[in-house]
Amino acid sequence: MIVEKKALNSAIKNMLCIKKEKTIYNNDYMQKIKNVINVRFTNGNLNFEVVDGFRTHNSQIAVDNAQNDVNFEIIVNIESIFRSKEKYVNIEYGNDTLKIFDTKNCIEYPAINIEYFDTSKMKNDLQEKNPIFEIYVTPKFLIDALKTFTEDNTPTKLSFYGEISPIKISGVKEFDRIETNYVLPIARKK
């Protein structure tokens, strides 16, 4: 199958960011599972999924030219983006190997034999429900607001009051003070 290199590398970059994080779980299984990426091709979509112990991240790339491609799922360890000067790259699956290549470069990722964390129940639960409301925010401002609470990893509360109201982000009360941030929603064309 042929995919746009920019879309592939964007998905891989997001995966690598999550793989770098330290997991709160120190058992052997979580240490192994957080270093792998589940690559799955079904219904014309290429999915990359990673789990780090307290969140999952899924990137999906629609593949237009995949009418003859067979569905597959493989768990691999991808350590970096695919470097290429070409706009499109090829992805092949076969013999328990995922191969990413262009006309000059080729990287093969052998399958890793590990039982992957099953996120399907969580996703199915969310797909059966409609969100109460949705808010669009600029990610940078939300992340900057959350960073003010990361000193000791104490829980942080996000409060939503409606589609056009700010998100209230507050920490746990410490020494007679509570820190609070507000992130304003942005308008999004429908």
Output the CA–CA distances (angstroms, integers) from residue 153 to 50, 150, 178, in the order listed: 21, 5, 15
Residues 120 and 154 in one domain: no
Tell me the DSSP string of 165-178.
Answer: SPEEEE---BTTB-
| Same-domain status, 8 and 68 | yes
The pLDDT tens digits of the residues spanning 57-111 come to 788 888 877 666 788 888 888 888 888 889 999 888 988 999 999 999 999 999 9
Residue numbers of the domain that contains 111: 2-125
Name the residue type at position 73. E
Distance CA 176, CA 90 (A): 58
Do 97 and 165 lie in one domain? The reply is no
H helical segments located in 47-87: none
In a domain, 55, yes or no: yes
Query: pLDDT digits over 97-132, tens only?
Result: 999 999 999 999 999 888 877 777 666 666 667 777
How high is the mean pLDDT of the chain? Answer: 78
Q: Do residues 8 and 89 both lie within one domain?
A: yes
The number of domains in the chain is 2
Q: Would you call 16 exposed, middle or buried from its count of C-beta atoms within 10 A (0-12, 13-18, 19+)?
A: middle
Statement to judge: residues 96 and 156 lie in one domain: no
* 113 and 32 within one domain: yes
- Residue of 138, 116, 99 lying closest to 8 (CA atoms): 99
Distance separating alpha carbons of residues 82 and 103, to the nearest angstrom? 13
Model's pTM, two decimal places? 0.69
Q: In this structure, is residue 78 part of a structural domain?
A: yes
**Claim to verify: residue 51 and residue 98 sit in the same structural domain:** yes
pLDDT tens digits for 15-51? 777 666 666 556 676 667 767 888 889 888 888 888 7
- Is there a single domain that holds both residue 95 and residue 147? no
